Amino acid sequence: MTHEEIVEKLKSMIVGRLNLGISPDEIDKDQQLFASAEGGGLGLDSIEALEIVVGIEELFGVGVEYSEGVEQRFYSLNTMAEYIEELLEKGS
Amino acid sequence: MESKRVVITGIGALSPFGTGKDAFIEGVRAGKYCAEVIVRFDTIPFRSNQACLVPAVELEDKDPRLARLPLSFKYGIAAADEAIRDSKLIFDVEEKDRIGVFYSTACNTEQTEQYHLGIVEKGPSSASPLLFQNTTFMAGPGAVSIKRRITGPAIAIPGGYASGLQSIDVAVNYLHQSYIDVAIVIGADELTRLHYEALYRLKLLSPRRKGAREISRPFDAGRDGMVLGEGAGALVLESLSHARKRQAKVYAEMVGVAIAHDAFRAADIAPSGRGLATAMRVALADAGMSPESVEYIAATANSTRLFDNAEVKAIKKVFGSHAYRTAASSIKSMTGETFAASGIFNVIACTVAISNGFLPPTINYEEADAECDLDCVPNSARAKRVRVAMANAYSFGGTSGSAVLKAFEDTEEDE
C-alpha cells in the first residue's frame, strides 16, 4: 500500500465515520486535523480522535496506542499515514 | 404552603403530523390519521408493518456533531428550539444558571442498538467512541444546554411512556423551590426496529388486516392493540413572576402535577388503573381543585384493552359521576403511541382545549364499548373552550403521571 493510498483510505474513513457531510476530496492531506475550522483546520475533538483510532485499527489491522505524543502523529493525514506505514512495517 | 405559580410560555412539537406546533394543532383539529407503512426498517418478519412516524427533521444548526446524533435526540433538539423561539426568551439577558433542561425518553435509539451490536459482533475494541457519546442519556439534554450555554440543572429522565409527565413534575418542583426561573421540558423518542419487534412479540400491536391500514382506535369496542408512533414535544415552563417581568405570552397555567407508581408488576400495569388514579387525585390536590372543575381530559389510552380499560376505571374512581360529564379523548388515535413525547403532546392537547377553542377528537371510533363509556369526543373535534383540563400518561411498568392546566388569569396573588 503506497502512502497516497493510505491517505485516500483515511479520508474516506474519517468523512464516513464522523459523518462530516463533506466530500473526502475536500480534506487536504496537510490540513491540521485538530486546529479550529477558523484556523484552517478540521476542528476535530478528542472523542473524534478516538473514533479515528478505532477506524484505523479496523481498516489497517494495526493496534494504535492512544497515548501522549500521538497528537503529533495525528497532526495531519500525511503524518497519520506515515505513522500507519511504520505500524504496518512493524507488524510485517 | 406553595406559592409559586408556573405558566407555559413556549410550545414546540415535532410529531407524526409534521414539523412544528401549528402542524400538530391543525392535525389534531382535522382529526388526521398518521399511520403509514414503515420503510425505515424491515418489517417482513412481522404481521404488522405500520407506524406513525415523523416525516422529516431539520435542525437550525448545520453542525455535523448534531447531524450524527440519533434521530430521537434530533427530534428533541428541534422541538426545544421551537419552544424556545416561541417563548421569545432572550438568552443574552437571562441568568443561565436559573434555567434548567428536563429531558425525558422512554426508549433506546437505533444507534444504541448499533453500538451494542458492534461490540457483540466484533468485540470490545471495535466499540465506537462516537456512538457511545451520542447514545448516553445525557446526549440530548447536553446538546440543548451547550447550544445556549445553559448552566442550571440538565436532567435526563428515562421514565417509560410516562416520562414526559415525570419531566414536567421534576421541572415544576425546581420552579416551586425557586431554584430556577425557567424550565425547558422535553419528551422525545424515535421508533426503532428492536422496540417495534419487542412490542410485536408481546402481541401488543394492532395486527395487519390484508391490505388494510392498521388502526389505532382507543376506547372503541374493536380495538386490538397499539399502532406505534414517535416524535418530540417541548414546553417552556416559567415562574409567573419571571414571565410577567418579561411580558411573555402565556398559553396556560400549570396548576398541578403528580406522578405515581402502581406497585404491580415489572412490565405490566394494574388493571384497576390504581396508579393513574393516584396521580390524578394528587395532581388535583396539588392544584387545589375539585374533580368537578375538570372539563377535558387528554387521555393516555393507546388502543389496547388493558390501558384503555384501566384509564376509564381510574377516571371513574377519581371523578365519580362527573366522569360522564367531562370529555376524555385520546390523540393517540391519530399519532399512535409516542412514548416519552406522549405526555408532552397531551399537555399541548390541553392548551389547545384551553386556548384554541376546540377539544381534540378520538378518531377511528366506530363501535361503543360498554367498558369505555365516557365521552371520548368521537371522530371530529368539538368546538368548545374549557377553563380546566387534565393530561394523563401511563406506562408499562406502572409509572403514571397527571397534570392539571388552567386558563391563565393574571391576578395579583403569588409572586
Could you report how far apart the first and last alpha carbons of chain A are, in Å? 13
CA distance B140 to B230: 16
pLDDT band (50, 70, 90) for residue A65: confident
3-state secondary structure of B382: strand
A51 chain-B contacts, CB cut-off 8 A: 128-130
B69–chain A nearest CA distance, Å: 10
Contact state of B125 with A18 under an 8 Å Cβ cutoff: no
Contact state of B125 with A50 under an 8 Å Cβ cutoff: no
Q: Where are the beta strands (DSSP E) in B317-372?
A: 327-329, 358-359
A18 CB within 8 Å of a chain B CB: yes
Contact state of B128 with A19 under an 8 Å Cβ cutoff: no
A2–chain B nearest CA distance, Å: 25
What's the pLDDT at B376? 98
What's the pLDDT at A37? 83
B67 chain-A contacts, CB cut-off 8 A: 19, 21
Complex prediction ipTM? 0.80
B130–chain A nearest CA distance, Å: 6
* Chain A residue with minimum CA distance to B124: A54
* B6, B250 Cβ separation under 8 angstroms: no
Among residues B102, B57, B55, the alpha carbon closest in space to that of B335 is found at: B55
* Chain A residue with minimum CA distance to B64: A20
Helices (H), B210-273: 240-245
What's the pLDDT at B1? 41
What's the pLDDT at B413? 64
pTM of the model: 0.93
List the pLDDT tens digit at each of the 415 positions of chain B.
Answer: 445 899 999 999 999 999 999 999 999 999 999 999 999 999 988 888 999 999 999 999 888 889 999 999 999 999 999 999 999 999 999 999 999 999 999 999 999 999 999 899 989 888 899 999 999 999 999 999 999 999 999 999 998 999 999 999 999 999 999 999 999 999 999 999 999 999 999 999 998 776 788 899 999 999 999 999 999 999 999 999 999 999 999 999 999 999 999 999 988 999 999 999 999 999 999 999 999 999 999 999 999 999 999 999 999 999 999 999 999 999 999 999 999 999 999 999 999 999 999 999 999 999 999 999 999 999 999 999 999 999 999 999 999 999 999 999 988 665 4
pLDDT band (50, 70, 90) for residue A39: confident
Number of H helices and number of E strands within chain A? Answer: 4, 0
B64 CB within 8 Å of a chain A CB: yes
Among residues B312, B304, B325, B345, the alpha carbon closest in space to that of B168 is found at: B345
What's the pLDDT at B250? 98
